[in-house]
Structure 1
Amino acid sequence: MTRLSWPRRATAVLAAAALGVSGLTACSSEPEAADGTYTWWDPYPQHDASSAWAKRVNACGEQAGVTINRTAYDTTALTNQALLAGQEGNAPDVILLDNPAVSTLADAGMLTAMSDFGLDTARFDKNLLAAGELDGKAYGIPIGANTLALFYNKRILDGAGVDPASIKDWASLNAALQKVKTSGKKAITFSAIGTEEGSFQFLPWFWGAGAQLTQLDSPQAVEALQLWTSWVRDGIAPNSVISNSQNTTWEEFLTGEFAFAENGTWQIDSAAKADFPTGIIQIPAKSGGTAPTPTGGEFITVPVQKDTGRYDTTKKLLECMTTPEGLVETGTTFAYYIPSTADGQQAILAKNPSLKPWVDAVRSAKGRTSDNLGTDYPKISEAMWTAVQKALSGAATPAAALSAAQSQAKSATNG
């Protein structure tokens, strides 16, 4: 693949940096590397030096016989710092990147392919690994994954006579939502905001209809947007979805007024503490089965180093972090990560069997940059969320909005 010039790389990386589906804050000063010190950057400033996460990272350093100098940035700042470090030839040894940014940095020539690095990726779930692949090469390994499902309020469903197990496809979901509305309760809420979060939440319905990101105006894509539009038009979903972030959607659900909310693995603990009994079901595909949901989560990546002799120790760090036990520890530390290997998933289910629906969801999930979309994904996503906004606001029909989106995406990706 043709490498980008540095000005174009900056644009691409900044686009990727905007892809995070949750916001983090704060950062610490940039570290300096020494022979016995390995630099580690991650997007977890909420986990300080005394945290279980920091201790875990340091323990892997000790196991590899080196000291870890860890720096935590928020997601956007991290990717921007990675760009600068790559320009200056002073990249850290390890960076944990939000998965959509991996292919962008790889395309910029900043990351080492795992095969070149000598790390076997065969044990990682292919659907999760694909989010960090470009042109057939893996440029990172997932430390875990989160994804979406439908949370439900059991009290409301019981009152409306809805059995969540009966929801198998769009028809049965629509029937359940109508029962809830007829009972006088609010049916469903989700995030359709004009950002990556809106695309993230629309993708299960888009993919579940059989649509592909390379053809935003396909009949299947139109069906998916018609579904959402009909919910808002008919009062099944509130008008607030147009401006809802995933956090505000969750706040709506926690009021106890909504039967369903589309949200992610990261709300497991919050759901358990709700003032009403909750459960989850997989997001159904149009004609039945589970819809592919987008993966969230970070990849461990290895920036290109001038001193390739450092890679042997870096490999030890990656292997330490991704043993079955290590993946479970990550999942436990963050309370919303599902391990990215079959062994890790079995191990976390042995500790917490209630996570099985989420393990199932992750196993059927799909990376946003999969299908070798790479640096094209942010442009396609922006066109898609713009179409969703137009349709839900009534500014355009779903078909017209997606037709314009396809033209926008085609122009942006061919430019």
Structure 2
Amino acid sequence: MQPTKPLVRTAAAGLACAALAFATACSSGGGTTDQDADTYTWWDPYPQHAEDSDWANRVAACGDAAGVTIERTPFDTTALTNQALLAAQEGTSPDVILLDNPAVSTLADTGMLSTVDDLGLDVSGVDENLLAAGVVDDETYGIPVGANTLALYYNADVLTAAGVDPATVTDWASLTAALEQVTGNGAKGITFAGIGTEEGSFQFLPWFWGAGADLRQLDSPEAVAALELWTGWLDAGYAPDSVITNSQNTTWEEFLTGEYGFAVNGTWQVNSALDAGFATGVIPLPAQNGGTAPAPTGGEFIVAPVQTDTERYDVTRQIVECMTTPEGFVETATTFAYYIPPTADGQTALLEAQPELQPWVDAVRGAKGRTSDNLGTDYPMISEQLWTAVQNALSGSATPADALAQAQTDAAAATE
């Protein structure tokens, strides 16, 4: 989840309006019938990439390869989802949309997206854990163009001064012990983002899942243990009070001061870490009892909305395939500098060019989609209650157990 900031059932299918996390829409089954046969419309969530950017040129090149012109329109992430739902309701959907992976189930639930089987796309090579974010009721909608996730950055200078070997950080106990050594040596311990937004849930999930907790049961003993870990770090002075309002960007700014031993952050900070004024490294986020905790996947899916003119699908498929070859995945990864390809072939090709990204490839291979386990459109409602519980516990207004008990009650009511 980068902090800034893809096909037909049948057009005749009768669809009821669904109350969704971001907006409400009814899919009437297609785009306009007067589209220019040589122009294909493309929407993505990258307004920061201008018309002359490497990304815009990459998109245009896939149109050129298919013999058409791509008309690209960027939106910010939330606006894109809302606009896509509105366009489906009005019958003006674009040919291709690139959107944040948790929103795929939201769009698919309206019937506005076709499946990969409908479009004739082969997704057998895509890592199952990454593809899962686009699976709804056993149907697959779209292909991830890449993934990013979280790991644990460390300041090698701070750890060396405190006598901490990062290789020994393999579970919660060893991480907490390392934080005790770091703070005991006069440095600051760990910073993370506990803000009351999706970013807060995104950063808490590796600890939640790493304890064995399930998003359908927010008040389980495992979930309580994860939240007690965070509150315990605050109580001991291993993490700053600022985590309750920290976004992932502000967390990173804290880490770049050089005062912290560790920071939870994502693939998108790789280049920034290289430019830091101190030696940095990356290790996996540890699960409670050892091993790597599943971290949530960020990144976008490429999906194709239903079109009235079904003859357009052949070119749409060519555009999607251009974006999702092994070479295409690597080009996307290097264009953005924080994407890991979602296939073994793409990951191998990336590592041949940038072997230092091996920890991030490992992290993505072990990651998990936020809407996996068939949570679909329930996820945003569950997530809101999860980040609310984190806020209440970090602020001291409720114990972790009480905060999560209330979250479970509220999430169950919201998803009935």
Q: TM-score, normalised by structure 2?
A: 0.93
**1:270-309 alignment runs, 5 A limit:** 270-309=272-311
Shift of 1:140: 1.0
Shift of 1:5: 4.2
CA distance in 2, matches of 1:194, 1:14: 21
Q: Residue 21 of structure 2 aligns with which residue? A: 12
CA distance in 2, matches of 1:265, 1:56: 21
Match of residue 45, structure 2, among 43, 60, 80: 43
How well do the aligned residues superpose, as a CA RMSD in angstroms?
1.7
CA distance in 2, matches of 1:197, 1:3: 36
Equivalent residues of 2:21, 2:381 under 8 A apart: no
CA distance in 2, matches of 1:55, 1:3: 39
**1:79-158 alignment runs, 5 A limit:** 79-158=81-160
CA distance in 1, matches of 2:77, 2:85: 13
CA distance in 1, matches of 2:195, 2:48: 25
Are residues 108 and 239 of structure 1, via their aligned partners in 2, closer, same or farther at CA, if it must alter by over 3 Å? same
CA distance in 1, matches of 2:338, 2:96: 22
**1:154-193 alignment runs, 5 A limit:** 154-193=156-195
Is 1:75 the counterpart of 2:77? The answer is: yes
Shift of 1:77: 1.4
Unpaired segments ≥5 residues, structure 1: 16-31
Equivalent residues of 1:150, 1:262 under 8 A apart: yes
Is 1:217 the counterpart of 2:219? The answer is: yes
Q: Residue 389 of structure 2 aligns with which residue? A: 387
Equivalent residues of 1:3, 1:109 under 8 A apart: no
Shift of 1:56: 1.1
Indicate the SS of the match to 2:37: coil
Indicate the SS of the match to 2:278: coil
CA distance in 1, matches of 2:108, 2:59: 24
Q: TM-score, normalised by structure 1?
A: 0.94
CA distance in 2, matches of 1:69, 1:191: 37
CA distance in 2, matches of 1:33, 1:54: 21
Indicate the SS of the match to 1:366: coil
CA distance in 2, matches of 1:5, 1:413: 18
Match of residue 261, structure 2, among 259, 267, 282: 259
Q: Which amino acid aligns with 2:400?
A: P
Is 1:377 the counterpart of 2:383? The answer is: no
Is 1:360 the counterpart of 2:362? The answer is: yes
CA distance in 2, matches of 1:238, 1:221: 22
Shift of 1:12: 2.7
Q: Residue 313 of structure 2 aligns with which residue? A: 311
Q: Which amino acid aligns with 1:73?
A: F
Q: Which amino acid aligns with 2:396?
A: G
Equivalent residues of 1:13, 1:105 under 8 A apart: no
CA distance in 1, matches of 2:211, 2:99: 30
Shift of 1:4: 7.1
CA distance in 2, matches of 1:260, 1:33: 52
CA distance in 2, matches of 1:50, 1:264: 27
CA distance in 2, matches of 1:71, 1:389: 36
Shift of 1:288: 0.5
CA distance in 1, matches of 2:377, 2:137: 12
CA distance in 1, matches of 2:113, 2:101: 13
CA distance in 1, matches of 2:188, 2:15: 49
CA distance in 1, matches of 2:256, 2:370: 28
Equivalent residues of 2:22, 2:78 under 8 A apart: no
CA distance in 2, matches of 1:244, 1:267: 16
CA distance in 1, matches of 2:207, 2:294: 8
Shift of 1:65: 1.1
Indicate the SS of the match to 1:13: coil
Query: Higher helix share goes to which structure?
Result: 1
Q: Residue 61 of structure 2 aligns with which residue? A: 59
CA distance in 1, matches of 2:186, 2:16: 58
> Stretches of 4+ moved more than 6 A in 1?
1-4
CA distances 1:45-67 after superposition (whole Å, capped 9, x unpaired): 11111111111111111111111
Unpaired segments ≥5 residues, structure 2: 1-8, 25-33
Indicate the SS of the match to 2:367: coil
Shift of 1:333: 0.2
Query: Percent same amino acid at aligned positions?
Result: 68
CA distance in 1, matches of 2:39, 2:192: 45
CA distances 1:117-142 after superposition (whole Å, capped 9, x unpaired): 21111110000000111001111100
CA distances 1:259-290 after superposition (whole Å, capped 9, x unpaired): 10000000001110001100011000001000
Q: Which amino acid aligns with 1:377?
A: Y
Are residues 391 and 56 of structure 1, via their aligned partners in 2, closer, same or farther at CA, if it must alter by over 3 Å? same
CA distance in 2, matches of 1:109, 1:4: 7
Equivalent residues of 1:3, 1:107 under 8 A apart: no
Q: Which amino acid aligns with 1:348?
A: L
Q: What count of residue pairs does the alignment treat as equivalent?
A: 398
CA distances 1:11-42 after superposition (whole Å, capped 9, x unpaired): 43349xxxxxxxxxxxxxxxx94111110001
CA distance in 1, matches of 2:349, 2:60: 23
CA distance in 2, matches of 1:3, 1:339: 37
